[in-house]
């Protein structure tokens, strides 16, 4: 390790770092703006100037930018040098010439990096007498607010948006002190990662527009570590609450998962927590045809005592959007034989497939960090930009791996971002995208392939065969597909860290098997390939590990065995199956009990509805697509009669006289019981410290030490300050009192360090800046590959897709904004969701003699939907895409064959 | 034009008339040097003779040309394509020497570029031309067309087997595009922000490939060095520096203009003999010897030879060798305000000291001219000249802008103080 001397003191640093990275990692305070740990150095802002001395004899030294200077062994620098300090203060003074000094009314105030750096450099007095330059701000859509006058021209925004995230509709315009960062004209930012501008911007140019609509000061937010519930990736988040409303979501760094960035669905999908459709009291229907009425918890439980008296007449339907503990509690209540996972049979089979492959095959599962570091990627059957957006961002970074190799040959350090990008302008790692349609990730692909799911699977089988002659052969391949398979196989074989990405969104078991074959063929012959499967929901893998039957099995059970009572946990069944089937099912069951946080269609038909907390008002464990179990914590106490769903279920278990939940006092007890239930879940106990965990005898406060108005918060109701809610489930407290330092990573409720009030305080919590959190990145991987397992290939590639006469294969098209149940309830997300449509190849549309956007009837079985059609040139013939999960369109299980009729001819 | 000495660069330039066409240029011996280089010399030979000649870059920085070429990776392993770029984005206030060469003898430049491209084994060459040089653009385009038609460009140049494509690219018209790496970004269609160095363009240049960027005048010297030898070239200079130099003068002199003279000609000779001295009734107060981004010199420096070393010793720089003269009836503060307005306006907006610092300087100087200057402003300006020093900023624009200001503050301090004291510009 090189040793550098800073202000007369020797420090060991990591080889290859720049001086800024090294100094910050050492815990030294050196101000900066343009540098970002995930974006590297460009030397624009000149804020991190230090004095560099050539040798021990050199007493004059020269200013250098720490971010642009390698920390070589023997480097001698001074941060405290007078000239360096003066220069750094000057840089702030320059930035402040035009800055509006509107901190009191700025949304960034209190967590502003510019504020912190200004204080750090000691610039105090304003000496500039000129006018300030001003800009016209733009309407950038529902997510991001624009206030350009605050800009200090650090270029982080444009570097993130264009270079890191691949956006095209945002840029830097003009020059001198009038550089404008925005769009060519007003309009919603197109990138699905636009919300990161809010965190990337070191001041208040880009702020959270949804927070603005119900603004509160940052230091008044109550926060807790959480996990995003809007897809299967499990990005770590920090939700913030004030006055019983969730106000915003911020990124929570997890080096193995989301790193520094979230997608806009994850960041802005939270408003369902504040929805008017929230259930806040138990509801009870006394007799058929009666309305649901609010009752007390005691009344509801009394009613349920009768319904649940005969255990053999009760079944439970769990949910992939509920925690492991909640699902486990339901399974405990009804018994494992009468527990159903709550997803259709088709999806259930896909999940089982994924789990079998990840647990019994030799290819280990990939974290997002593994994907970012991959030097070759094959994506089979997933439009990641819509099904798992943060994973698409990771694949985009994987495309840069080859440029790092080139830079190393040229002697350019990896952190020298502009130089690396300049040297490697036409160099990308091999990224192959085999999908149904063109995707927003195509610009980083070295080859794309569009086909129906069966043909995508055949390509995968063919790649595996090219890699390993013992893999099953694929009959009737065209020369073009065989050549492409050969090219993909060659690139994957030549890679040191190849990753195969696939998932459940195409609804094709063959695609999932094909991806496994490719990874396994690689594992047999060469580098350990990793496998990354996307799954639909935040706990899809978790319920898969728990076991149970599918929703269709539950429907079958009601039909065949006639259990009288159905308990539905956090699940709107109308999103799972067609309305007729679900209605018939709910009618066949004599008593339907729903535990959920929203009054949805299923809940509206229930006899008893118990109000549960959302992710923000409860805690539990979710298992992401990687098989990583992660804990989310209660951010705020929901009040009213809202309880964690596991608590309702515990009470029901007790009500029916079972002893199984006798010792379930806190979540830890449920987690422990769940961990004991099956060996694969044993790691659950290690996911987060138990409720009894204390540091110096203290709990971890959810409220920052600057939390204001504590005694006045509820004064309009009562001047007597109420006792804060107890939290018996976690080491966190609903209080500003407690341990003031930094807790272990799974418990970090916010980033803060003395003098660092912005998200950049994260630097102080990492082993080195940009590196893992001190104490390890949160989460425990439950799913591990069988490294030494012999490869048993899936054989029988499906036959080539054959379009049918008069019928179309209807496949789901996922929408980042719209397809997911909860996020689309956020007005901001809803605004970005598309209208319903049916996409098909223009030639297919022509065959139906459809005019542009003409309405069609899509007929699947007994169900029909009337939607405009959309001609999409890159779709395979005979395939039509129907938006998945849009409000009003959910419930159709895809893919399936259907008929399409011109409306005017019906 | 010129003294009795040799004037290789301008000998065939006929002011006020169309330049020599290809046939005319060849009748003066044109393209013989290129033929000689491409058919009878190795690329290394060419670089060696240019190195031996002592030719230093004429764009302002004075980097040894042969040495620059030697940084380009050669051989079969070298990344391809390689590029040669002629920096013809002459936009420094007071500088118009390349214009003379571009408009006056475009084939001389093309021949120089052919030889340079051969020396570094470039596959493609660009002439990056200042947007406003419309006449030069027309003449260069015509000359390129002729050269292509004659086989002097394109495949198998001059029958040598060497291939070279050459393109004329007109700049979008910003000063920063003349900064070597800003130029490369502009040529790639990106914002003309300079690049961090290292890596340097000879290794990582245009589209990430090895790229040699030379000034117009530098390249125009190359054919003459190849055909007449390094010793001949060295002997052209009067002092330590080799060759001739196109010197220019603007300001209130009798005959502003540009002249090719031996390197090391004194300021006095240029000012008094070539430009005919100051206009009647005016006295010289100072001058910027090498263009707008060099330090002021005073009448006491008139006998300083205009070469790299002598001007550095006098506290300024040769720069582009084209001086701007300040007379005793012109306000030095106003002159600096004009200059700093230009530099502030042309800041690319990348690094803070430049985009913010130059703007502040401009505002202070404007305030002095308006009568709102304050005593503390002098210290503010002086501090800025220190803060905008080399290495503090991302490129040389702001340090260049600081040079006339720092020397102006030193030499004309009384003028600044009068502006503050009298709350007006005393020259108006």
pLDDT tens by residue, B348-401 = 999 999 999 999 999 999 999 999 999 999 999 999 999 999 999 999 999 999
How far does the CA of residue B346 sit from the closest CA of chain A (Å)?
7
Whole-angstrom distance, CA of residue A127 vs CA of residue A132: 13
Q: Do A46 and B383 touch (CB under 8 A)?
A: no
Q: Is residue B14 included in any domain, yes or no?
A: no
Contact criterion met (CB below 8 Å) for A634 and A730: yes
Instruction: For residue A45, list chain B residues with Cβ-Cβ distance below 8 A.
Output: 351-352
How far does the CA of residue B8 sit from the closest CA of chain A (Å)?
39
* Interface subset of A 170-189, CB within 8 angstroms of B: 172, 174-179
Residues B299 and B337 in one domain: no
Q: What are phi and psi of A363, to 5 degrees?
A: -90, 120
Report strand pairing: A608-611 vs A283-285: antiparallel
Instruction: For residue B393, list chain A residues with Cβ-Cβ distance below 8 A.
Output: 46
Task: Taking residues A391-409, report their average pLDDT.
Answer: 97
Residues A526 and A636 in one domain: no
Q: Which domain holds residue A74?
A: 3-80
Contact criterion met (CB below 8 Å) for A148 and A207: no
Helix (H) or strand (E) holding A829: helix A827-832
Q: What are phi and psi of B425, to 5 degrees?
A: -85, 115
Residues A418 and A527 in one domain: yes
Residues B206 and B189 in one domain: yes
Share the mean pLDDT of chain A.
95
Q: Report the number of distinct structural domains present in chain B.
A: 3
Q: Is residue A780 included in any domain, yes or no?
A: no
Q: Is residue A624 included in any domain, yes or no?
A: yes
Residues A571 and A498 in one domain: no
Q: Which of B78, B190, B208, B362 to mutate to test the interface with A (most CBs of A within 10 A)?
A: B208
Q: Residues with Cβ < 8 Å from B112, sequence gap 6 or more? A: B219, B220, B221, B222, B223
Task: Taking residues A661-675, report their average pLDDT.
Answer: 95
Residues A324 and A452 in one domain: no
Q: Is residue B11 included in any domain, yes or no?
A: no
- Nearest CB partner across the interface for B351, out of A44, A128, A427: A44
- In chain A, the N- to C-terminal Cα span, in Å, equals 76
Instruction: For residue B350, list chain A residues with Cβ-Cβ distance below 8 A.
Output: 44, 153, 155
How far does the CA of residue A449 sit from the closest CA of chain B (Å)?
28
Q: What are phi and psi of A72, to 5 degrees?
A: -85, 160
Whole-angstrom distance, CA of residue A188 vs CA of residue A169: 9
* Interface subset of A 546-605, CB within 8 angstroms of B: none
In terms of Cβ atoms closer than 10 Å to its own Cβ (0-12, 13-18, 19+), residue A846 is exposed
Instruction: For residue A422, list chain B residues with Cβ-Cβ distance below 8 A.
Output: 195, 199, 204, 208
Task: Taking residues A749-775, report their average pLDDT.
Answer: 95
**Is it the case that residue A597 has pLDDT exceeding 80?**
yes
Whole-angstrom distance, CA of residue A13 vs CA of residue A198: 31
> CA-based angle A237:A242:A246, to the nearest 5?
45
Q: What is the pLDDT of residue B51?
A: 98
Q: Which domain holds residue B263?
A: 244-327
Residues A844 and A875 in one domain: yes
Q: Is residue B428 included in any domain, yes or no?
A: no
- Nearest CB partner across the interface for A46, out of B346, B360, B393: B393
Residues A354 and A337 in one domain: no
Whole-angstrom distance, CA of residue A906 vs CA of residue A755: 69
Q: Report the number of distinct structural domains present in chain A.
A: 4
Residues B73 and B178 in one domain: yes
Residues B85 and B206 in one domain: yes
* Residue that the structure tokens 């519930």 belong to: A229
CATH of the domain at A633: 3.40.50.740
How far does the CA of residue A60 sit from the closest CA of chain B (Å)?
14
Task: Taking residues A857-871, report their average pLDDT.
Answer: 92
CATH of the domain at A69: 3.10.20.740
Q: Is residue A73 included in any domain, yes or no?
A: yes
Confidence band for A344, pLDDT divided at 50, 70 and 90: very high
Residues B347 and B405 in one domain: yes
User: Where is the domain boundary, B236, B264, B283?
Assistant: B236
Q: Would you put residue B277 in left (φ > 0), alpha (ψ -120 to 50) or beta?
A: left
3-state secondary structure chain B: CCCCCCCCCCCCCCCCCCCCCHHHHHHCCCCHHHHHHHHHCCHHHHHHHHHHHCCECCCCCCCEHHHHHHCCCCCCCCCCCCEEEEEECCCCCCCCHHHHHHHHCHHHHHHHHHHHHHHHCCCEEEEEECCCCHHHHHHHHHHHHHHHHCCCCECCHHHCCCCEEEEEEECCCCHHHHCHHHHHHHHCCCCCCCCCCCCCCCCCCHHHCCEEEEEHHHHHHHHHHHHHCHHHHHHHCCCCCCCEEEEEEECCECCCEEEEEECCCEHHHHHHHHCCCECCCCCEEEEECCCCCCCCECHHHCCCECCHHHHHHCCCCCCCCEEEEEECCCCHHHHHHHHHHHHHHHCCCCCHHHHHHHHHHHHHHHHHHHCCCCHHHHHHHHHHHHHCCCCCCCCCHHHHHHHHHHHHHHHCHHHHHHHHHHCCCCCC
Segments in chain B below pLDDT 70? 1-4
Q: Residues with Cβ < 8 Å from A53, sequence gap 6 or more? A: A59, A61, A76, A77, A78
Instruction: For residue A99, list chain B residues with Cβ-Cβ distance below 8 A.
Output: none
Contact criterion met (CB below 8 Å) for B328 and B281: no
Q: Is residue A264 included in any domain, yes or no?
A: no
Q: Say how many CB pairs under 8 Å bridge A and B.
A: 116
Q: Is residue A126 included in any domain, yes or no?
A: no
Q: What is the pLDDT of residue A906?
A: 55
User: Where is the domain boundary, B308, B327, B346?
Assistant: B327
How far does the CA of residue B92 sit from the closest CA of chain A (Å)?
17
Residues A16 and A72 in one domain: yes
User: Where is the domain boundary, B289, B309, B327?
Assistant: B327
User: Where is the domain boundary, A677, A704, A736?
Assistant: A677
Q: What is the pLDDT of residue A546?
A: 94
Residues B364 and B307 in one domain: no
Q: Would you put residue A470 in left (φ > 0), alpha (ψ -120 to 50) or beta?
A: alpha
Q: Is residue A654 included in any domain, yes or no?
A: yes
Q: Is residue A725 included in any domain, yes or no?
A: no
- Nearest CB partner across the interface for A419, out of B176, B196, B355: B196
CATH of the domain at B348: 1.20.1440.230
Residues B303 and B360 in one domain: no
At A540-589, the pLDDT tens digits run 999 999 999 999 999 999 999 888 899 999 999 999 999 999 999 999 99
Instruction: For residue B337, list chain A residues with Cβ-Cβ distance below 8 A.
Output: none
Residues B346 and B279 in one domain: no
Q: How many CB atoms lie within 10 A of CB B70?
A: 17
Residues A547 and A517 in one domain: no
Task: Taking residues A417-424, report their average pLDDT.
Answer: 96
Exposure of A598 in the CB half-sphere (CA atoms within 13 A): 21
Residues B88 and B29 in one domain: yes
Q: What are the beta bridge partners of residue A565?
A: A314, A591
Residues A500 and A487 in one domain: yes
Residues A402 and A300 in one domain: no
Residues B295 and B374 in one domain: no
**Numbered residues of chain B with Cβ closer than 8 Å to any chain A Cβ:** 174, 176, 188, 191, 195-196, 198-199, 203-204, 207-208, 344-353, 355-360, 363, 367, 372, 376, 380, 383, 387, 391-394
CATH of the domain at A362: 3.40.228
Closest CA to A858 of A843, A847, A869: A869
Residues B310 and B376 in one domain: no
User: Where is the domain boundary, A22, A45, A80?
Assistant: A80
- Nearest CB partner across the interface for B351, out of A46, A175, A423: A46
**Is it the case that residue A480 has pLDDT exceeding 80?**
yes
CATH of the domain at B262: 3.10.20.600
Residues B320 and B346 in one domain: no
User: Where is the domain boundary, A80, A102, A117?
Assistant: A80
Residues A476 and A446 in one domain: yes
Instruction: For residue A63, list chain B residues with Cβ-Cβ distance below 8 A.
Output: 391-392
Q: Do B360 and A94 touch (CB under 8 A)?
A: yes
Q: Is residue B8 included in any domain, yes or no?
A: no
Q: What is the pLDDT of residue A94?
A: 97
Q: Is residue A552 included in any domain, yes or no?
A: yes
Residues A620 and A517 in one domain: no
Task: Taking residues A855-878, report their average pLDDT.
Answer: 93
């Amino acid at each position: 390790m090189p040793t550098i001397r800073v202000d007369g003191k020797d420090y060991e640093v990591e080889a290859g770092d720049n001086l800024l990275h090294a100094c910050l990692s050492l815990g030294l305070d050196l101000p900066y703006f343009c540098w970002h740990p995930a974006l590297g150095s460009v030397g624009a802002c000149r804020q991190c100037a230090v004095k560099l001395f050539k040798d021990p004899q050199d007493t004059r030294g020269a200013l250098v930018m720490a971010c642009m200077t390698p920390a070589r062994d023997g480097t001698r620098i001074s941060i405290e040098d007078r000239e360096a300090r003066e220069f750094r203060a000057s840089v702030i003074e320059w930035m402040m010439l035009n800055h509006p000094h509107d901190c009191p009314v700025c949304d960034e105030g209190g967590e502003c990096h510019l504020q912190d750096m200004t204080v750090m450099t000691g610039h105090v007095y304003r000496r500039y007498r000129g006018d300030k330059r001003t800009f016209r701000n733009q309407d950038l859509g529902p997510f991001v607010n624009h206030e350009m006058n605050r800009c200090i021209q650090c270029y982080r925004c444009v570097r993130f948006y264009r270079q890191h995230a691949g956006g095209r509709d945002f840029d830097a315009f003009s020059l001198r002190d009038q550089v404008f960062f925005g769009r060519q004209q007003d309009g919603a930012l197109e990138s699905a990662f636009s919300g990161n501008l809010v965190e990337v911007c070191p001041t208040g140019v880009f702020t959270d527009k949804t927070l603005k609509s119900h603004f509160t000061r940052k230091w008044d937010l109550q926060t807790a570590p959480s996990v995003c519930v809007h897809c299967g990736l499990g990005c770590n988040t920090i939700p913030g609450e004030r006055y019983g409303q969730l106000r915003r979501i911020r990124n929570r760094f997890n080096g193995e998962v989301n790193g520094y960035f979230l997608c806009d669905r994850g960041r802005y999908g939270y408003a369902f927590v504040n929805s008017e459709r929230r259930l806040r009291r138990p509801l009870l229907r006394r007799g058929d045809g009666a309305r649901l009425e609010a009752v007390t918890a005691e009344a509801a439980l009394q009613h349920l005592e009768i319904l649940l008296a005969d255990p053999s007449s009760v079944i439970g339907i769990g949910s992939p959007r509920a925690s492991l503990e909640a699902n486990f509690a339901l399974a405990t209540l009804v018994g494992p034989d009468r527990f159903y996972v709550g997803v259709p049979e088709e999806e259930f089979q896909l999940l089982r497939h994924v789990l079998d492959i990840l647990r019994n095959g030799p290819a280990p599962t990939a974290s997002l960090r593994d994907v970012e570091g991959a030097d070759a990627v094959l994506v089979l059957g997933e439009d990641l930009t819509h099904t798992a957006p943060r994973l698409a961002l990771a694949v985009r970074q994987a495309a840069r791996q080859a440029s790092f190799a080139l830079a190393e040959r040229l002697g350019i350090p990896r952190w020298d971002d502009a130089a690396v990008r300049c040297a490697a302008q036409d160099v990308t790692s091999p990224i192959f995208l085999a999908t149904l349609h063109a995707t927003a990730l195509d610009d980083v692909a070295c080859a794309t392939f569009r086909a129906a799911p069966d043909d995508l699977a055949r390509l995968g089988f063919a790649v595996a065969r090219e890699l390993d002659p013992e893999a099953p052969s694929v009959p009737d391949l065209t020369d073009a597909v065989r050549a492409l398979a050969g090219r993909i196989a060659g690139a994957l074989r030549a890679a040191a860290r190849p990753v195969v990405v696939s998932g459940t969104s195409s609804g094709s078991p063959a695609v999932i098997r094909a991806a496994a074959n490719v990874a396994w063929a690689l594992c047999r012959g060469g580098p350990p390939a990793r496998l990354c499967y996307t799954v639909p929901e935040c706990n899809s893998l978790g319920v898969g590990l728990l076991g149970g039957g599918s929703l269709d099995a539950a429907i079958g059970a009601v039909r065949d065995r006639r259990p009288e009572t159905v308990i539905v946990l956090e699940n709107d069944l109308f999103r799972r199956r067609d309305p007729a089937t679900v209605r018939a099912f709910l009618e066949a069951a004599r008593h339907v009990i729903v535990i959920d946080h929203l009054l949805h269609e299923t809940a509206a038909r229930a006899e008893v509805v118990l109000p549960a907390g959302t992710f923000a008002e409860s805690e539990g464990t979710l298992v992401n697509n990687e098989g990583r179990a992660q804990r989310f914590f209660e951010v705020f106490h929901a009040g009213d009669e809202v309880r964690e769903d596991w608590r309702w279920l515990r009470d029901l278990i007790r009500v029916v006289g079972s002893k199984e939940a006798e010792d379930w006092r806190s979540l830890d007890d449920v987690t422990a019981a769940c961990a004991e239930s099956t060996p694969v879940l044993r790691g659950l106990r290690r996911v987060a410290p138990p409720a009894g965990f204390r540091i110096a005898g203290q709990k971890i406060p959810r409220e920052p030490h600057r939390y204001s108005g504590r005694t006045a918060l509820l004064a309009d109701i009562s001047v007597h300050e109420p006792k804060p809610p107890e939290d018996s489930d976690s080491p966190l407290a609903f209080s500003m009192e407690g341990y003031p330092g930094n807790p272990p990573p799974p418990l970090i409720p916010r980033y803060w360090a003395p003098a660092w009030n912005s998200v950049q305080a994260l630097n102080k919590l990492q082993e080195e800046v940009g590196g893992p959190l001190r104490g390890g990145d949160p989460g425990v991987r439950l799913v591990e590959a069988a490294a030494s397992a012999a490869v048993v290939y899936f054989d029988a590639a499906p036959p080539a897709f054959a379009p049918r006469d008069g019928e179309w294969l209807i496949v789901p098209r996922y929408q980042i904004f719209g397809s997911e149940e909860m996020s689309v309830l956020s007005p901001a997300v809803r605004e970005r969701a598309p209208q319903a449509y049916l996409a098909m190849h223009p030639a297919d549309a022509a065959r139906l003699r459809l005019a542009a956007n003409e309405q069609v009837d899509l007929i699947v079985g007994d169900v029909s939907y009337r939607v405009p059609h959309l001609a999409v040139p890159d779709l395979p013939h005979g395939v039509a895409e129907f938006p998945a999960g849009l409000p009003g369109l959910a419930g159709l299980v895809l893919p399936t064959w259907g008929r399409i009729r011109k409306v005017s001819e019906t | 034009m010129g003294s009795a000495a040799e004037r290789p660069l301008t000998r065939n330039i006929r002011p006020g008339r169309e330049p020599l066409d290809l046939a005319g240029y060849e009748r003066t011996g044109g393209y013989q040097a290129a033929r000689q280089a491409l058919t009878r010399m190795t690329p290394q030979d060419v670089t060696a003779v240019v190195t031996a000649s002592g030719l230093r870059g004429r764009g302002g920085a004075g980097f040894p040309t042969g040495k620059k070429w030697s940084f380009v990776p050669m051989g079969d392993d070298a990344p391809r394509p390689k590029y040669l770029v002629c920096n013809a984005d002459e936009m420094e206030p007071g500088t118009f020497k390349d214009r003379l060469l571009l408009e006056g003898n475009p084939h001389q430049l093309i021949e120089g570029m052919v030889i340079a491209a051969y020396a570094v084994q470039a596959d493609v060459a660009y002439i990056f031309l200042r947007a406003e040089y419309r006449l030069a653009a027309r003449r260069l385009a015509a000359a390129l067309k002729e050269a292509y038609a004659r086989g002097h460009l394109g495949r198998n140049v001059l029958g040598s087997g060497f291939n070279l494509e050459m393109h004329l690219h007109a700049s979008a018209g910003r000063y920063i595009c003349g900064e070597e790496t800003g130029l490369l970004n502009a040529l790639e269609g990106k914002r003309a922000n300079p690049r961090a160095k290292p890596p340097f363009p000879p290794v990582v240049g245009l589209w990430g490939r090895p790229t040699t960027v030379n000034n117009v005048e530098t390249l125009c010297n190359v054919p003459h060095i190849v055909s007449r030898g390094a010793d001949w070239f060295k002997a052209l200079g009067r002092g330590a520096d080799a060759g001739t130099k196109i010197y220019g003068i603007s300001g209130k002199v009798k005959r502003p203009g540009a002249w090719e003279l031996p390197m090391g000609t004194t300021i006095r000779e240029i000012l008094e003999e070539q430009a005919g001295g100051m206009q009647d009734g005016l006295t010289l107060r100072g001058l910027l010897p090498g263009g707008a981004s060099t330090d002021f010199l005073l009448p006491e420096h008139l006998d300083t030879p205009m070469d790299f070393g002598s001007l550095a010793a006098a506290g300024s720089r040769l720069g582009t060798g084209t001086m701007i003269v300040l007379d005793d009836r012109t306000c030095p503060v106003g002159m600096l305000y004009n200059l700093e307005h230009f530099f502030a306006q042309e800041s690319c907006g990348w690094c803070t000291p430049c985009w913010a610092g130059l703007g502040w300087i401009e505002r202070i100087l404007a305030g002095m001219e308006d009568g709102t200057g304050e005593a503390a402003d002098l210290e503010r300006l002086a501090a800025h000249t220190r803060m905008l020093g080399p290495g503090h900023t991302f490129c040389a624009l702001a340090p260049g802008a600081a040079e006339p200001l720092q020397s102006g503050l030193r030499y004309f301090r009384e003028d600044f103080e009068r502006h503050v004291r009298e709350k007006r510009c005393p020259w108006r």
